[in-house]
Amino acid sequence: MATEQMDGGRALIRALEEEGVEVMFGLPGGAILPVYDPIIDSSIRHILVRHEQGAGHMAEGYAQATGRPGVAMVTSGPAATNIVTPLCDAHLDSVPMVVITGQVPYAAIGTDAFQECDTTGITMSVTKHNFLVAEAQDIPRAIKEAFHIATTGRPGPVLVDIPKDIVDPANPRSAMEWTDDVEMDLPGYRPATDVDAAAVAAAAELIRAAERPILYVGGGILKARAAEALRQLAELTGIHVVTTLMARGAFPDSHELCLGMPGMHGNFTAVTAMQESDLLITLGARFDDRVTGRLDGFAPDAKIVHVDIDGAELGKVRRPDVAIHGDCRLAVEALVAEFTANGTGDADRGAWRSRISGWQERFPLAYEAWQPGQALKPQYVIERLRDLNPDDTIVASGVGQHQMWASQYWTFDHPYTWINSGGLGTMGYAIPAAIGAKAGMPDRTVWAVDGDGCFQMTAQELVTATVEGFPIKVALLNNSYLGMVRQWQEMFYEERYSEVFLSKDVPDYKLWAQSMGCEAMRVDDPDEIDAAITKANEIDDRPVVIDFRVMAEEKVFPMVPSGATNSDLVVPPSQADLPR
Amino acid sequence: MNINDPEYRYHTLVVTVENKSGVLARVAGLFARRGFNIESLAVAPTDDERFSRLTIVVDLESSPLEQVIKQLDKLVNVVEIRELHPGYAVERELMIVTVGAEPDRRDELVEHLDRAGGKVLSVGADRMMLSLVGPPDRVDDFEDLLRPFGIVELQRTGRVALAVLDEDA
Ligand SMILES: Cc1ncc(C[n+]2csc(CCOP(=O)(O)OP(=O)(O)O)c2C)c(N)n1
Ligand SMILES: [Mg+2]
C-alpha cells in the first residue's frame, strides 16, 4: 500500500481530488487559511464567491444540474453561519453537497475563541450528517465518508468541520500519513436500495385495478435518475403524470400524459385529478403540505402506493396501502418488468380520461390579455423566454410569484433543467444556483428567473459570475413588490399592504448590473421583449440582466388558499363560473 | 400489564450508538425537533468500547412509535434499534433516597426495606440513605411507601432494559 507523509491541509485537498471534485465554491479566512495554500497547486477549480451563502447555493445549483455532489469551502464563525441557509435548503430538497468549514484549533474549541462557533451543533439539524475532525490522520476518511453519505440513499448535505491546527503545516498536529485506500467506518449507515418483489407485485395489483390512477412524481425520481424508466411506466400503463415543483422536467411537459404541476399553485387539472383519483402512485414525493392542501381533505378516495428510499417518509404524512422502501429507479423498472410480463390489466379508464381532457379544455392556465398602458404581463415574459430558448435551457428560479409563473409557463421537456428552492423557499437562490449550474454545464444556456426582492438578496454574486467567467442570464421580473406576500395581503388581508412595497426606481437595476460587469437592458414594452431576449442570447462573454417591468397587480392562479382543501382551488376570474 | 392495551403510553427502545462525541446531542436534538417526548433516558458504555447503549422510554402520546424508530434509524451514528414490547422486556431501575428516620420509626422503615429487597447505604442521626434496584413499577411503589417518612432527597437512574430470553433458543 502506497503511503506518503503529508500535512492535513494537503491531504484534505488530495482527498477532494480523489473524490473527483472538479470545481468548488468558497471564500477563505483565518481558520481555513492553511487549506487554501494547496489549492494553488490543485487540479480543482476554486470559484471565489462574494458571500458564503452564494457558495452554498452555487454548490446546490451545480449538484442539481449535474447530479454530482456540490462542494463549498468556507472559514469558521460568521462564514459557517452564512452557509447555514444553503445547508438547510439542501437538506429539505435532498441535494448532495459537501461543505467544509474551518474551525479554531482543536485545543481552543469551547473557549469562545475568535471566530469560534459551534458549527456542528448549529448545523446538526440541517445536515444529513456532520463531522468535527479531531486528528489530521482522520481527514481522508472523513472526506470519503462525507461524499458517501451525501450521495447515497436519500442525498443531502454533509458538513466537515476542520480545526486549524490539523491542517496547518507549521503545527506538528497536522502531520499525517496519506494512504491510498482508506476504509470507511460507518456501522450505522445502511441506505436501502433493493426493492421488495412482493411489495412491487402488490403495487402492480393495485395499479391494475385502479380506474382513476395518477402517477404522483416528486424530486426523488430525479435523484434516482429514473426519468427514462418513468416514461416507460407511464406509456406502458397509459397513466397520467403530475410533476411536483421539485420534479418539473422529470416527465416531459409536452407529453400527452403529462398534467403538469399539482399543489398550491398547480394547474386545475393536476390538482383536481389527484383530488379525484382512486390511486396515487407516489414516486419519490413526500405529501408536502404545499401539495396536499388541508390534509384531511386531500385525495379522499385514493389508495396510496408510496415508493421512497427514505423509509421515514413512508407513513409520515399519509398511510400507504403499499409501501416500497428503496431506490425509485429500481422500483419503477420492476413495475415496468412486471407489467411487460403480466399485462397492465383491463380496468376501464375511459370515463376518467374524458374527465381529465374535459378539465384540460375548460381550465387551462390563463391570464388576462395585456392592455395598452399596462406594465408587462409576467406570464407573457416567461412564455417568450420559453419560446426563444433551446428546450434544454436550464432555468434557475428565486422564490415568489416569479417562481410559480416560471414553473407554470415554461415547458420542461428534459430532466435537470429546472433548479429551484422548493422545501425551504429561499429568496436569493436563483443567481448563485444559476452560476453553479453554469459551472457544471458550461455548454448550456442558463437563465435565472428572479424577482426584484430576491435579486437584492444575492445579486452581488453577479460580480462572481463576471470575474470567474460564467455568462448566465437573468430575467428579472420586477414588480416593485415582494409580490407573493402582496398577493396574500390582497386576497386574505383585505388589501392592507404591510411592508411589501420595495420601490419603483431604486435601485436602478440596469446601472447596478452594469457596475457588476453585466450587459444590462430594461424592457417596458411588450414589443421589445423578443429583441431583448434575442440580444441576451447572443452575448456569451459576460452575464446579462434584463429588467422586465411587470405588473404589480398580477396574481398567481390557480391557488389553494392555505388551510383550504384542494377541492376549493381558486381559479382565475375568467374561469370562475365554469362547471367543474 | 397488557401489551395490547391501546392506552399503553410508554415504549422502551434500546438503541446502540457509536461511542462518538455529540451522539447524545443528535438523539436529543432529533427528539426535540420532531416533537417526540422522552419519558426517561439512560446512557452507558457497552462491552464493546466502540458503542454505547441508550435506553429510551418514549411517550407515544407525542408521536407514533414507527416514526420515532425510523427517524432515529436515519441518524448515521445509530447502529441498532431494538424495540422492547412491554411484557417482553426485563427492566430495572436504581433509586437512592434519603428519608427521615426518627429512632422510633426505624424498625418500620427497615421492615419495608427488607421486604422490597433494598439496602441501607448510610445512617445519620435522624435520616437514613437507602437504595433499591427493581422493575420501575416496584421502585414506584417503594417510593410511595417512603413518602410518609419524609423524603429528603431522591435520585432515580431511569430504566435500563434487555429483552426477555427466549426459552427455545
Ligand atoms: C429569505 C426569505 N425571506 C422571506 C421570504 C418570504 N417570501 C416569500 S416570497 C416573498 C416575496 C419575494 O419577492 P420577489 O423576489 O420580488 O418576488 P415576487 O413574488 O415579487 O415575484 C417573500 C418575502 C422567503 N421566502 N425567503
Ligand atoms: Mg417582486
CATH number at residue A471: 3.40.50.970
Write the residue in B18, B33, B74 that is nearest to A187 by C-beta. Answer: B18
Residues 189-208 of chain A whose Cβ lies under 8 A from any Cβ of chain B: 189
State the cell numbers at A432.
448563485
**What's the pLDDT band for B71 if we cut at 50, 70, 90?**
very high
Are A273 and A160 found together in one domain? Answer: no
Residue A114 catalytic? yes
Residue A81 burial (C-beta neighbours within 10 Å; 0-12, 13-18, 19+): middle
**What's the pLDDT band for B88 if we cut at 50, 70, 90?**
confident
Decide if A204 is inside a domain.
yes
Domain count of the fold of chain A: 3
Ligand 1 touching residue A459 (CB < 6 A): no
Ligand 1 touching residue A58 (CB < 6 A): no
Q: Structural domain of residue A15, as residue ranges?
A: 3-179
Chain B: closest CA distance from residue A80 (Å): 18
Per-residue model confidence (pLDDT) at position B1 = 43
A135 touches chain B (CB under 8 A): no
Per-residue model confidence (pLDDT) at position A471 = 98
Question: pLDDT per position in chain A (580 positions), as tens?
Answer: 679 999 999 999 999 999 999 999 999 999 999 999 999 999 999 999 999 999 999 999 999 999 999 999 999 999 999 999 999 999 999 999 999 999 999 999 999 999 999 999 999 999 999 999 999 999 999 999 999 999 999 999 999 999 999 999 999 999 999 999 999 999 999 998 899 999 999 999 999 999 999 999 999 999 999 999 999 999 999 999 999 999 999 999 999 999 999 999 999 999 999 999 999 999 999 999 999 999 999 999 999 999 999 999 999 999 999 999 999 999 999 999 999 999 999 999 999 999 999 999 999 999 999 999 999 999 999 999 999 999 999 999 999 999 999 999 999 999 999 999 999 999 999 999 999 999 999 999 999 999 999 999 999 999 999 999 999 999 999 999 999 999 999 999 999 999 999 999 999 999 999 999 999 999 999 999 999 999 999 999 999 999 999 999 999 999 999 999 999 999 999 999 999 8
Q: Is A311 within 8 Å of B22 when comparing Cβ atoms?
A: no
Per-residue model confidence (pLDDT) at position A387 = 98
Decide if A186 is inside a domain.
no
Q: Boundaries of CATH 3.30.70.260 in chain B?
A: 6-87
Given a contact cutoff of 8 angstroms between Cβ atoms, the answer to whether B13 and B68 are in contact is yes
B39-43 CB contacts, 8 Å cutoff, 24+ apart: B39/B10, B40/B158, B40/B159, B41/B158, B42/B157, B42/B158, B42/B159, B42/B160
Ligand 1 touching residue A176 (CB < 6 A): no
Decide if A371 is inside a domain.
no
Are A357 and A443 found together in one domain? Answer: no
A125 touches chain B (CB under 8 A): yes
Residue A484 catalytic? yes
Which protein residues have their CB within 5 A of the ion that is ligand 2? A 451-453, 479, 481, 483
The residue from A335, A362, A389 where one domain ends is: A362
Adjacent-strand bridge partners of A162: A102
Write the residue in B18, B21, B67 that is nearest to A188 by C-beta. Answer: B18
Are A21 and A150 found together in one domain? Answer: yes
Per-residue model confidence (pLDDT) at position B2 = 47
Are A110 and A243 found together in one domain? Answer: no
The residue from A152, A179, A206 where one domain ends is: A179
Q: Is A121 within 8 Å of B70 when comparing Cβ atoms?
A: no
Q: Is B25 within 8 Å of A316 when comparing Cβ atoms?
A: no
Write the residue in A125, A311, A316 that is nearest to B33 by C-beta. Answer: A125
Q: For A210-327, where are the alpha helices, taking DSSP H only?
A: 219-223, 227-237, 268-276, 289-292
From the candidates A17, A22, A115, A137, which is the catalytic residue? Answer: A115
Are A141 and A211 found together in one domain? Answer: no
Residue A202 burial (C-beta neighbours within 10 Å; 0-12, 13-18, 19+): middle
Q: Has residue B95 got a pLDDT over 90? A: yes
Q: In this structure, which ligand is nearest to the CA of A451?
A: 1
Q: Is B79 within 8 Å of A310 when comparing Cβ atoms?
A: no
Integer Cα distance of A158 and A329 in angstroms = 24
Pairing of strands A519-523, A97-103: unpaired
State the cell numbers at A532.
431583448
Per-residue model confidence (pLDDT) at position A564 = 96
Are A394 and A517 found together in one domain? Answer: yes
The CATH fold of domain B90-163: Alpha-Beta Plaits (3.30.70)
Decide if A558 is inside a domain.
no
Q: Among A109, A160, A189, A317, which would you mutate to test the B interface (most chain B Cβ atoms within 10 Å of its Cβ)?
A: A189
**Continuous segment of H or E residues that includes residue A14:** helix A8-18
A149 touches chain B (CB under 8 A): yes
Q: Is A124 within 8 Å of B25 when comparing Cβ atoms?
A: yes
Type of residue numbered B119:
K
Integer Cα distance of A11 and A136 in angstroms = 8
Q: Has residue B3 got a pLDDT over 50? A: no
Are A203 and A346 found together in one domain? Answer: yes
Write out the residues of chain B at the interface with chain A, using a CB-CB cutoff of 8 A.
Answer: 17-18, 21-22, 25-26, 29, 33, 50, 66-67, 70-71, 73-80
Q: Is A207 left (phi over 0), alpha (psi -120 to 50) or beta?
A: alpha
Q: Is A125 within 8 Å of B67 when comparing Cβ atoms?
A: no
Per-residue model confidence (pLDDT) at position B5 = 55
Are A393 and A507 found together in one domain? Answer: yes
Q: Boundaries of CATH 3.30.70.1150 in chain B?
A: 90-163
Q: Which of A224, A267, A228 is nearest to A244 (CA)?
A: A267
**Half-sphere exposure (CA, 13 Å, Cβ side) for B87?**
7
Are A212 and A339 found together in one domain? Answer: yes
Are A357 and A475 found together in one domain? Answer: no
Ligand 1 touching residue A429 (CB < 6 A): no
Question: Quick check: helix, strand or coil at residue A227?
Answer: helix
Decide if A367 is inside a domain.
no
Are A170 and A277 found together in one domain? Answer: no
Adjacent-strand bridge partners of B133: B94
Q: Ligand 1, closest atom to CA A378?
A: 21
Q: Is A124 within 8 Å of B29 when comparing Cβ atoms?
A: yes
Ligand 1 touching residue A297 (CB < 6 A): no
Query: How much of chain B is helix, strand and coil, in % rounded to 5?
Result: 30, 40, 30
Output the domain CATH number for residue A354. Answer: 3.40.50.1220
Residue A491 catalytic? no
Residues of A whose CB is below 8 A from B73? 311-312
Q: Has residue B4 got a pLDDT over 60? A: no
Residue A52 catalytic? yes
Q: Which of A422, A398, A449 is nearest to A94 (CA)?
A: A422
The class of domain B6-87 in CATH terms is alpha beta
Sheet with A97-103: list strands edge to edge.
A45-48, A23-27, A70-74, A97-103, A157-163, A129-132
Residue A115 catalytic? yes
Decide if A386 is inside a domain.
yes
From the candidates A58, A261, A441, A484, which is the catalytic residue? Answer: A484
Q: Ligand 1, closest atom to CA A403?
A: 21
Residues of A whose CB is below 8 A from B35? none
Are A294 and A431 found together in one domain? Answer: no
Ligand 1 touching residue A453 (CB < 6 A): yes
Decide if A337 is inside a domain.
yes
Given a contact cutoff of 8 angstroms between Cβ atoms, the answer to whether A518 and A466 are in contact is yes
